[in-house]
Amino acid sequence: MKVQRGAKERAFIDKVEELSEQSVNACIRCGTCSAGCPFVQDMDELPERIFKRIILGDTEGILRQNTMWICAACYTCSVRCPRDIDIAKIMEAVRQIVLRDNVDMVDVEHVERIKDLPQLAVVGCFRKETG
């Protein structure tokens, strides 16, 4: 992948770093996060690969993946990262960039089995996946 950091890419990286208060350049691509993540099987791309895209400012590439929506903020990656990067916050930053455009990733009005679901689940899901 050719490294292209124009103004648009820089703006995206800056926004991610601003929202997460983390430095994306600290990542050494060791893969510990991906190794511990319980949800990798359902992700289009590994968390560590998403990181690479962020570093390169590949906004469009990232937004095509489902990784940040499969992330459940379980925090396993953040507690294990050898560089002490709070990866969960980086994932949240990418989600927020999408959601703050008044976007919903889940259909609020048509939740199946809402009759049975504990309120915790509905509140948590809407917090993470609606704008």
Partner 1 sequence: MGEKEEQEMIEIYVMGKKYEVPKGLTIMTALEYAGYKFTRGCGCRGGFCGACPTVYRKKDDYKLRMDLACQTAVEDGMYLVQLPFVPAVREEYDLEEMDPSANDNILLEYYPAIARCVSCNTCTKSCPQELEVMDFVQAALRGDVQRCAELSFDCIQCGLCSMRCPADIKHYHLAQLARRIYGRYQQHKSDALTKRVEEVEKGAYDEELQKLVEMDEESLKERYEKRDITEG
Partner 2 sequence: MDGYLYYPGCTLKTKASDYEESAMAVMEALDAPLVEMDDWYCCGAVQSLAADDIMHQIAPIRTLICAQEQGEREVVTLCDMCYNVLKRANLWMREHPDDLDTMNEFLDEDPDYEGNVEVYHLFEILRERKDDVKKRVKHKLDGLTVAPYYGCMLLRPSEVAIDDTENPSIMEGLLESIGADVLDNPKRTECCGSYHVVNRPDIVERRVEELVSRMGEMGADVIALSCPLCQYNLDSYQRSTGYDIPVLYLTELIALAFGLEAGLHKHRVDPGIMLKERGVLER
- In angstroms, rounded to a whole number, what is the distance separating the alpha carbons of residues 121 and 12? 30
Binding site for partner 1 (CB under 8 A): 108-109, 111, 114-117, 119, 122-123, 126-127, 130
- Cα distance between residue 21 and residue 103, in whole Å: 23
Rounded Cα distance, 113 and 128, in Å: 19
Contact call for residue 103 and partner 2 (CB under 8 A) = no
Paired with 130 in beta bridges are 104
Q: Binding segment for partner 2 among 6-14, 17-25, 44-52, 55-63 (CB under 8 A)?
A: 17-25
Choice between 79 and 123, CB closer to partner 1: 123
Query: 52 with 130: CB under 8 angstroms?
Result: no
Give the shortest CB-119-to-partner 1 separation in angstroms: 6
Structural contact between residues 54 and 90, judged by C-beta atoms closer than 8 angstroms: yes
Residue 86's binding partner, choosing from partner 2, partner 1, none, with beta-carbon cut-off 5 to 8 A by kind? partner 2
State the maximum Cα–Cα separation within the chain, in Å, rounded to a whole number.
50
129 binds partner 2 (CB under 8 A): yes
Closer residue to partner 2 (CB): 9 or 129: 129
Kindly state whether residue 41 participates in binding partner 2, applying the rule CB under 8 A: yes
